[in-house]
Structure 1
Amino acid sequence: MPRLFLLAGLTLLSAAAMAEKADWQPANRVYDRDVLSAAPLLPADLDAATRRCEPGTGGLEDVEYRSAAEVDYSQHGWEQRVAADWAFFNVSPYLGKVLVIDSRRQGDTLAFRYLANGTQGDLYEPWSSSKVMAFTAAMAAAREQGVGADASVGDYRIADLVTSVHSYAQHGLADGNSNAIASWFLNIAGRDAATALFHDRWLKLSDPRVRIRGAYANLVFDPGTTTWRSDDGSATATIDSFKANTDDPGYQAYRCDDCDLTGNKPMTTLAEAEWLKRLATHDTVPETRHPGLQSSDIDVLFEGLADGPDRPVGGMRAGIGRMLHRALADAIVPEEPSKDDAKAVLDNATDGRWSVWQKLGAGPSETRGASELVMLAQVCLPGYQGGRTFTVAAQAGVPGATEENVSVAAQRLEQVLAITMRQLLGDG
């Protein structure tokens, strides 16, 4: 599969330049094909692998978790009130950034602990991992008009569009142009409204630098109409969007006066993980529920609408990449070559009911002189260690802004994830 999740406008190296790197490039191409750009692994029992994944109550009895009621996420400063070990993971910040929000059931409620390697407040460019935020904000805007993600706009189903964003492949009538579709989502929401969700409108983060004010491509998807219709025909709405990214008053250029080297949508592992954790727990933690979304909108984000043999898997479950799957398998069965048969390891540990919902973002940055990879994911391991579920945000980069070096960054990110998963699951 081609590396379609890079920012639009990148060009491949010339044949001569590729030849100059022949001593290492073939291995990178194999890793790119088989791991980085590969279609995701899927559980054996896909019908039983559900977004409504609940952690168990056993294990980790001496470890503190805190519920939403104990933390009070409705008030600023919640980052200081959560149960956290910000230096839990033995991952050097030089190697990468990582944060995990681990869940446990305490009585009738879910409780959480936050684990990191001391980088939870470091800004980075999220690349395409932030498309989760673009979709979320767009669906909140649509819900204000009475329709949601279980709808179509013209000939296009929203579920197909969001699946295409994550899979970088054609899905239904969606053509796989992830950058153009995600830019359209953000142009529906507006950057002021999308950024406000990080702050007073929802997450109430303490870091005012976090925002989403850029785009993913100059070319923006055009469905040919502004009319949305719910799939059951019960509702229609006219939903406008900015035709060009720069039409949005909240848009910032990548190197705007207020932008650092991290660009116009800087985020942190804490910001990204908290956003996804709240979506994943929409049905079970009402205190942190998104104010404008319904459960069906989140179902579309996580699963798409798999209603036919030609569309068996969708949403974030269709997100490309196998680094996290391999890291999980390596933690569950540390002896090699577990990561090379990650699906079998995960199936055996969970009766085939495990889930990984993920979004990768990657690219070479000339402003930072580096190639980078970001992963945002939700993991469900039912039955394993009594049932484990957690959110992961991780980032890694290597010197040298080339497309080929993105594969090197991906291998470094897999190292980060391998260390992280062994520590996380090793203490269960």
Structure 2
Amino acid sequence: MDSAALIAANRFGYGPAPGELERIRGPRDYLRAQLAAGAELPAYLAAQDSSKSIFIAMRAQRMQKKKGSGERLVKNARDTYLRQAGARQRWAAESPQGLRERLVHFWSNHFAVSIDKPQVLPLAFTMEQEAIRPNITGNFADLLGAAIRHPAMLLYLDNTQSFGPRSRAGRRRKRGLNENLAREILELHTLGVGGGYKQADVRELAKAITGWTVGSARFRPEKTGEFVFAEPVHEPGSVTVLARRYADSGEVQGSRILRDLALHPSTAKHLAHKLAVHFVDDNPPNEFVKQLAEVYLDSGGELLPLYHALIDADEAWDAGGSKFRTPVEFVTASFRGLQIRQGRFLPSLRALGQVPFKPGSPAGWPDNSAHWKTPAALLARADWSDEVADKQAFSIDLEQWMDETMAGLFSDRTRLWVGRAETTAQGLALALMSPEFQQR
């Protein structure tokens, strides 16, 4: 079996489905074809509620003011989240476009929102569907703008509570700036830590995006659940970000800043490093990161050339495999390889410590092996593998599965230990916990 085919399925996707490795004749072309093709979503994913419909439904529930309506609102939000997150993880395990799904999840984590905040609970998935997924192969500036304007992001980082101190609404209500979103735009979404910005830049950017809010029953009800620009909340006057002055032009002022940030050299380096870490190595070579950043800048922030450069790089095809699978990657690869349909994704991920859309901070989930490779985490994986193996052993020919479905992945040493197992369930659990299956 071609080791490059395994790398294409494991490192760039969520692991091979049965028969997939046989179809990968040219691994690089196989990956490029996924990027060129349009996203084909199943009905169970495409039919999930939009952010607008969720807002409208919540507004209707609030207006009822019946006994217990508050509890029903919370329950409905939770039910919506569970349905959405389950569909999302199911598609990751079933999709024939593993690279596209990995990129969707990568950028969703880059622009992380967390369901720790109640308002975000039913909206986190809609941000991924509406802002992230349609823009993963376009220009980063468009992806950035869509993510920042999405209601989930505006609510999560409190921009709906940010008022220009000298704006009409700010003076009337004696409200001021909230710098949360501006700070994360600079620190996490664009320039990165050490990217050259100062606290003054955070405050100036916060001024520029005042008025970026969400339509509601009180304000622009016809735009409920959609991005709106509230001019009375916007701080008047010019701002200066990274030594560049931006005239007061309403919503356009903030948009211009975002587009300039998207093409800043620090942003190129930050994004290149994150992609290299995610797909290749926890500590990617500096020269490799530099080459990716140059491709990004030369293309004007287009993401497809950046992905192609990543796919073409020799570093990405090192058969050593140094990336340790996160819980999402491990569970998804297991369900995908074993063809478990509609599995218990969310209880599994909760048990392993990576609940979808709950990273706990705007920085998203860590993307390094050290965070996930702790003794407690490995013990939890072993328990989970035993449970899955017990349920799947009756329907699997373990030797045939290792030979055909995951051909070339397992070493002779692992095969020896699996072969010595007393039961099929025990052997399958050993295969799932093997170093080869834990790595990508």
TM-score normalised according to structure 2 size: 0.27
Please say which structure displays the higher CA radius of gyration.
Answer: 2
Larger proportion of helix:
2
- Structure number with the bigger relative contact order (C-alpha 8 A, sep ≥ 6) is 1
Larger proportion of strand:
1
TM-score normalised according to structure 1 size: 0.27
